[in-house]
Amino acid sequence: MTNTNDAGMLIEAVIFDVDGVLVDTAEYHFRAWRRLAEEELDIEFTEEDNERLKGVGRMESLEIILEIGGVKLDEEEKRRAAAWKNGYYQEYIENLDDSVILPGVMEILEELRMHHAHLGVASASKNAPKIMAALRELEDFFEARVYGQDLDHSKPHPQIFTLSADRLGVDPSRCTVVEDAEAGVEAAHRAGMFAVGIGSPKHLHKAEIVARGLDELNAADLLFKNSAPPISGAGDQAAARSEPGSAPDMS
């Protein structure tokens, strides 16, 4: 690889989050949590609340919902609540097909492959192996995979991405992470990587680039190879790029 980003660094690898970046399953997580919150726990749970759960592990997500509702459960009740949610979620993902792959995903992966970028997939979800196995054409793009089963720590802990870089054999400073979660952007920065946010600039403004979807970006954007801003169809706040050359916040 000889691509250089504006900070004078070489990007050799791109690591993709799964839910909300590659596939449209983030919506299913939200529906399953809302169903649990409203039907089983009598807690009102909004889309805004859900932003705090994105990318966060199952038990940590439950703790956030309980905190929102001011509800206390003992350990056994928590275990059962998390299992209920997972049961609902698994019903939603039972019959997955290629239609869940988000717009622009296959095209940008193809393009990155032409640039000889190393590609990794990294998800906090323990259901991610099942999702990826159902989508073979997508899975085939990736050299390294890190899933919930491999992790001791939840995002924003950087473990998910440092382990990915390790498996790809690439230094963290040469990696870009593509994430839809605020906690994921923070995890990328704590791993010493660049972050591309997919979703709303309101929640993802700390990422070096924010776009509504991968269909607004191209391989050069993820490799920080040019400085032209991505085109956005994003209504209120268009795809935003922070000042190129700004190094990731390593705090």
d(CA 144, CA 161): 11
Q: Is 156 in the site for Mg ion (CB under 5 A)?
A: no
Contact with ligand B16 (CB under 6 A) among 127, 159, 164, 173: 127
Q: Terminal CA-to-CA distance of the chain, rounded, Å?
A: 28
Contact 151/138 with Cβ under 8 angstroms?
no
Regarding 32 and contact with ligand B16 (CB under 6 A), the answer is: no
Binding flag, residue 148, ligand B16 (CB under 6 A):
yes
Q: Does 52 bind ligand B16 (CB under 6 A)?
A: no
Q: How far is the CB of 34 from ligand B16 (least distance, A)?
A: 12
Q: Which residues pair with 195 in a beta bridge?
A: 177
Q: Name, in order, each residue with C-beta under 8 angstroms of 140's C-beta and a sequence gap of 6 or more.
A: none
Contact yes or no for 155/58 (Cβ under 8 A): no
Decide: is 49 part of the binding site for ligand B16 (CB under 6 A).
no
Q: Which stretch binds ligand B16 (CB under 6 A): 18-26, 170-178, 222-230, 234-242?
A: 18-26
Residues tagged active-site:
17, 19
- Scanning 51-59, 75-83, 95-103, 232-240 for contacts with Mg ion by CB under 5 A, the matching segment is 51-59
Nearest to 145 by CA among 130, 129, 169: 129
For residue 124, what are its two tokens? 């906090």
Q: Are strands 194-198 and 209-211 parallel, antiparallel or unpaired?
A: parallel
50 touches which of Mg ion, ligand B16, none (CB within 5 to 8 A by kind)?
none
Q: Is 126 among the residues that bind ligand B16 (CB under 6 A)?
A: yes
Q: Is 141 helix (H, G, I), strand (E, B) or coil?
A: coil
* Residue placing its CB nearer to ligand B16 in the complex, 33 or 194: 33
Q: How far is CA 243 from CA 76, 205, 248, in A?
A: 48, 12, 11
Q: Which listed range, 69-77, 120-128, 185-193, 239-247, lies at the site for ligand B16 (CB under 6 A)?
A: 120-128
Contacts of Mg ion in 159-188 (CB under 5 A): 180-181
Using the 8-state DSSP alphabet, how is residue 154 labeled? Answer: -
- Closer of 9 and 96 to ligand B16 (Cβ): 96
Nearer to ligand B16, 122 or 170 (CB): 122
Give the number of other Cβ atoms within 10 Å of residue 48's Cβ. 9
189 binds ligand B16 (CB under 6 A): no
Q: Which residues bind Mg ion (CB under 5 A)?
A: 17, 19-20, 55, 180-181
